Amino acid sequence: MRYLPIFLDVQQKTCLLVGAGEVAARKLALLKSAGATVRLVSPECSEEIRAQIDGARISYIQSAFEPQHLDGCGLVISATDDEAVNAAVAAAAQARHIPVNVVDSPALCSFIVPAIIDRDPITVAVSSAGKSPVLARWIRAKIETLLPHSIGKLAAFMGARRAAVQAALPQVGDRRLFWEKILTGLLPSTLARGKTDEADRLFEQTLQKDAATPTQGRVYLIGAGPGEPDLMTFRALQRLQEADVVIYDRLVAPAIVDLARRDAERRYVGKCREAHSVPQEQISQLLVELAQQGKVVARLKGGDPFIFGRGGEEIQALATAGIPYEVVPGITAASGCASYAGIPLTHRDYAQSVRFITGHTKDGKLSLDWAHLAHGRETLVFYMGLTATAEICSQLQAHGLPADYPAALVEHGTTARQRVLRGTLATLPALLADAQSPSLLIVGEVVQLHDSLAWFEGHSDADAAFLPPIEHRALCDLATAA
């Protein structure tokens, strides 16, 4: 971050505004809405601003800027079209260690005025660090459509009952879960319709039930998808943001882990070939122990947890221990990587079926029914097959597939680092000298469609901005604050 996001209390504090034109009028309105006392300095003053001068909260000094105008001020905004004046204001303010903003001049600013969504007492601020105010306003408009105007009323309702919840639920985790139930239940819509008495009834009913019920931990087994964060499902994002603890491995992108609540504990249990940081049995036991402590646990897995993700082993351990759990499916690597590589897994002209196969060797040997795999007219997808690619290609040829049969390796699929290495069973192994994991091996006639259907590679819009479902995350953060 270039700037630390903060909210300044300027209620009844003197703020200096230099300039009195159209831009200054917008800044004056912003300062007034925040309750500031504004000292306006400018040789001339527009009629729009003059009509607001009352000598109390807004005073006007008809003068060119002088450093003494800063006396007693806690904040400074310069909104003139004179670069020399703006530079003088910035220098004088910074010499006195007073926060200063110069409109459209980030280099002179010690703080940035963001695009603001006002749902008092809820305030959302969006900043581009001065790089693109238009983009910040565009994002603000997107958020505006997600936040109902009644959310301010909801915040006030929750704030008025915060002490009662703290008294009934002494544990922080219990309070957070309670507020999440409130936010995802009927109360928000009931309050939005003006039915305050009904909202009070729902609140009391939920609070009494939670206070009388012991906290029970649970585990969410979440498929995080093939790599790109915006390929997660909405349910996966919801469950991730409920978690007290996030357990993840190396196939889960850091950007996905970052979508968890800021106060959630994060534990890495990554496994890679011949270097398991935490054995599978210990991971399963860890999930059981954390849930038994009353924690909500998100177990993040790359792709889908039930396709070569050992999800079945983990929920067997949970079921044996009597731990409540939920499985959230994800886009598996085969589907995601093939789609982004422009390789249809099935096609009426080339493949009537697709098979998912583990390429992970045990004791250095692949034990597969090669004769059955090599009959053709089928797409073969090998997970974890990078190190075994040469053997896979050799065995398929030895059992009947031609040397020129199409094959491709997709590494870092669906992400900005994606690379597709395309060849044949005979040539592909020689192309993998610098190939990286995670990667996926695809064998089949459909691979030849890559050249004409590779929409993602080199496409300017392929890595579009990821805007996660903001509404639920905003509500979860609100619940945490409450």
Q: pLDDT tens across 343-354, in order?
A: 999 999 999 999
Q: Are 256 and 349 in contact (CB under 8 A)?
A: no
Known catalytic residue at 271: yes
Packed helices 133-146 and 470-481: angle between N→C axes, nearest 10 degrees? 80
**In this model, does residue 480 exceed pLDDT 60?**
no
pLDDT at 462: 41
HSE-up of residue 394 (Cα within 13 Å, Cβ side): 7
CA-CA distance, 448 to 342, in Å (whole number)? 10
- The DSSP symbol for 358 reads E
Give, rounded to a whole angstrom, the gap between the first and last alpha carbons of the chain: 26
Q: Which of 82, 195, 271, 477 is catalytic?
A: 271
Binned at pLDDT 50, 70 and 90, residue 193 comes out as very high
CA-CA distance, 154 to 54, in Å (whole number)? 34
- In single-letter form, the type of residue at position 248 comes to Y
Strands (E), 174-287: 218-223, 245-248, 265-268, 271-272, 275-276
CA-CA distance, 36 to 353, in Å (whole number)? 68
Peptide bond into 121 cis (omega under 30): yes
- The DSSP symbol for 347 reads B
Known catalytic residue at 142: no
| pLDDT tens, position by position, 468-478 | 444 444 444 44
CA-CA distance, 76 to 36, in Å (whole number)? 12
| pLDDT tens, position by position, 271-288 | 655 555 688 899 999 999
Q: Are 16 and 76 in contact (CB under 8 A)?
A: yes
Tokens representing 389?
């690619």
Q: What is the H or E stretch that residue 254 is in?
A: helix 254-257
Contacts of 395 (CB under 8 A, 6+ apart): 366, 368, 370, 374
Nearest to 287 by CA among 215, 214, 216, 218: 218
pTM of the model: 0.68
CA-CA distance, 156 to 162, in Å (whole number)? 10
| pLDDT tens, position by position, 281-309 | 999 999 999 999 989 999 999 999 999 98
- Helix (H), strand (E) counts: the chain: 18, 19
Binned at pLDDT 50, 70 and 90, residue 147 comes out as confident
Helix (H, G, I), strand (E, B) or coil at 349: coil
Binned at pLDDT 50, 70 and 90, residue 43 comes out as very high
What's the angle, vertex CA 4, arms to CA 2 and CA 9, rounded to 5? Answer: 145
User: Looking up tokens 């565009």, which residue turns up?
Assistant: 138
Q: Which of 174, 210, 244, 249 is catalytic?
A: 249
HSE-up of residue 45 (Cα within 13 Å, Cβ side): 20
pLDDT at 213: 81
Binned at pLDDT 50, 70 and 90, residue 52 comes out as confident
Helix (H, G, I), strand (E, B) or coil at 452: helix
**In this model, does residue 238 exceed pLDDT 70?**
yes
CA-CA distance, 106 to 127, in Å (whole number)? 12
Mean per-residue pLDDT for 22-45?
Answer: 93
CA-CA distance, 153 to 444, in Å (whole number)? 58
Nearest to 412 by CA among 312, 301, 298, 333: 333
Name the average pLDDT for the chain.
88
**In this model, does residue 228 exceed pLDDT 70?**
yes
HSE-up of residue 255 (Cα within 13 Å, Cβ side): 14
Packed helices 280-292 and 311-321: angle between N→C axes, nearest 10 degrees? 40
CA-CA distance, 256 to 270, in Å (whole number)? 15
Q: Are 311 and 222 in contact (CB under 8 A)?
A: no
CA-CA distance, 289 to 312, in Å (whole number)? 18
Tokens representing 314?
């983990």
pLDDT at 272: 57
- In single-letter form, the type of residue at position 124 comes to V
Helix (H, G, I), strand (E, B) or coil at 106: helix
Nearest to 409 by CA among 387, 450, 441: 441
- In single-letter form, the type of residue at position 364 comes to G
Strands (E), 92-240: 100-102, 115-119, 122-126, 218-223
- Least-confidence region, from 167-176, 251-260, 391-400, 473-482: 473-482
Binned at pLDDT 50, 70 and 90, residue 461 comes out as very low
**In this model, does residue 361 exceed pLDDT 90?**
no
Q: Are 69 and 45 in contact (CB under 8 A)?
A: no
Altogether, the residues listed in the chain come to a count of: 482
Mean per-residue pLDDT for 139-155?
Answer: 88
Mean per-residue pLDDT for 434-446?
Answer: 92
